[in-house]
Amino acid sequence: MAAAPLHELGPAGPGAEMAAASFALGLAGAWSGQAGIIWAAEEGVFAEEGAPYPVGLAQFGIDPARLIVVRAAQREDALWAAEQGLCAPGAVVICALAPRRKPLDLKVTRRLLLLAERNRARCILVRPLDEASAAWTRWRVGPASSRGEAKELGAPAFRVDLVRNRAGPAGACFTLEWNAHARRFDELAVDLSAASEHGPPDPVRARA
């Protein structure tokens, strides 16, 4: 999965937007290197979920010194900023879009994919799942209960469904926990009941 240039994440339902955004941050944290993370989001996204809080980001494992946040007034600006960000080799670009009635044109996601491929950068697109997209993998992300003693909170946990996978079969559902020290997701549970027949992909272990 790490090799793919464009991924798409969507919230599993209303109220799961934060989970999708945080999952994107986790992936970005796992993959980012020298070039850092560029987070291009529409203003509507910040109104819905709150503005990024660098203290929390640092605890999560994201280096604030290598983070650039672009607050775009319009969707086109956010997409344009994401495209520009993908021209920096090694960068991880998160592009977060607010829900819109008109779905995103396939050309737009294809352009993101091409730019990411050409420059060895990676793009994570976070938006409500629409129909057509050029992304290699698409995930539906929702919150999951954390593992903690008694009533205590544990490490951040997510429930993700692999909705589409260009490199293999789809349909598997994972419960993942974010390990901030190692900057990776640990697998807590796997549910393959909805997976297609060719056998499950193992995107967690396939991550470098």
Binding site for other proteins (CB under 8 A): 15-16, 18-19, 21-23, 25-26, 34-36, 38, 49-61, 64-73, 77, 80-81, 84-85, 87-91, 142-146, 148, 151-159, 178-181
Greatest Cα-to-Cα distance within the chain, rounded to the nearest angstrom:
49
Closest distance of CB 131 from other proteins, Å: 27
Q: Minimal CA–CA distance to 205: which of 182, 187, 192, 191?
A: 187
Q: How far is the CB of 7 from other proteins (least distance, A)?
A: 17
Q: Rounded CA gap, 160 and 204, in Å? A: 11
How far apart CA 97 and CA 189 sit, in angstroms, is 29
CA–CA gap between residue 35 and residue 121 (Å, rounded): 9
For other proteins, the closer CB: 123 or 136: 123
Cβ closest to other proteins, residue 114 vs residue 155:
155
**37 residue type, one letter:** I
Distance of closest approach, residue 67 Cβ to other proteins, in angstroms: 6
Q: Nearest approach, Cβ of 149 to other proteins (angstroms)?
A: 10
| Phi-psi map region of 133: left, alpha, beta (phi>0 left; psi -120 to 50 alpha) | beta
List the structure tokens of 16: 């799961």
Q: In terms of CB distance, is 170 or 176 closer to other proteins? A: 176
Q: Which is nearer to other proteins, 139 or 178 (CB)?
A: 178
CB closer to other proteins, 17 vs 130: 17
The single residue listed with the structure tokens 């080799």 is 89
In the complex, what is the shortest distance from the CB of residue 171 to other proteins, in angstroms, rounded to a whole number? 21
> Could you tell me the two tokens for 164?
């589409």
Alpha carbon 149 to chain centroid distance? 29
